Amino acid sequence: VQLQASGGGLVQTGSSLTLTCTASGFNLADYDIGWFRQAPGKEREGVSCINEMDGIKHYRDSVKGRFTMSTDSSKNTLYLQMNTLKSEDTAVYYCAADPAIILDCLNGTKDFEFWGQGTKVTVSS
């Protein structure tokens, strides 16, 4: 099982970025999947995730309406479209997957088994 995240960069406030996470060795559709981030000096936090049981996309409040998570099953790829970026979105972003159902996936930092290597997003004002 491997996850490869990419798409980070340095952007200005208000800009957009799309992060990509390519999965190999397993089918994303069979796993709980999500995006997490870790800002300097802070704990890793959930950004968006899909619980395989309910199929609902969950978002943390601070990104609702600005971030959209999506998947492309034909490419076995997970995306995070980030719009109207703010300086507080600056962090290293990670994609994660787990074969088990994680009911509270946004708070599942310690529950997800497989992680991508992270891609850095820096939003400058």
pLDDT digits (tens, 9 = 90+) for 71-107: 999 999 999 999 999 999 999 999 999 998 888 999 9
What pLDDT is attached to residue 111? 92
- Alpha-carbon distance of 94 to 6, in angstroms, equals 9
Which of these, 112, 118, 76, 59, lies nearest to 93 by C-alpha position? Answer: 118
- Alpha-carbon distance of 50 to 62, in angstroms, equals 17
What pLDDT is attached to residue 52? 78
Tokens coding 97: 């997957």
pLDDT < 70: residue spans in the chain? none
Cα 71 versus chain centre, distance: 11
| 20 neighbors 71 (Cβ within 8 angstroms) | no
What pLDDT is attached to residue 110? 92
- Alpha-carbon distance of 119 to 35, in angstroms, equals 11
